[in-house]
Amino acid sequence: MKLYAGNLPFKLTQKDIEDTFSQFREVDSVKLVIDKDTRRSKGFAFIEMTDPASAKDAMQALNGSALNGRTIKVSIAKEQG
């Protein structure tokens, strides 16, 4: 299941995000979106987790929680297209 995480602290790394979400089981991948001009984080990422139940647990636990001083938003990622 693919999750969207927004309003992330700009200094957060892919490893930080993986560590945060892996509390709820195995994380398959993390794609932190980077601005191609400034090479800085845009403040959001996509996280893929194999187990849908664990992904939903992570979403419920982390959505609205504080991470490094910011209230993050976590939801099921919308398919583009």
Name the CATH architecture for the domain at 2-76. 2-Layer Sandwich (3.30)
Of the candidates 66, 51, 42, the one whose C-alpha atom is nearest the C-alpha of residue 74 is 66
Q: Taking the domains of the chain in order of start, what are their residue ranges?
A: 2-76
Tokens of 32: 């932190």
pTM score, whole prediction:
0.93
| pLDDT tens readout for residues 10-64 | 999 999 999 999 999 999 999 999 999 999 999 999 999 999 999 999 999 999 9
| pLDDT tens readout for residues 6-18 | 999 999 999 999 9
Return the sign of the alpha-carbon dihedral for residues 6, 9, 11, 15.
Answer: negative
Q: How confident is the model at residue 79 (pLDDT cuts 50, 70, 90)?
A: confident
Q: How far apart are CA 80 and CA 58, in angstroms?
A: 22
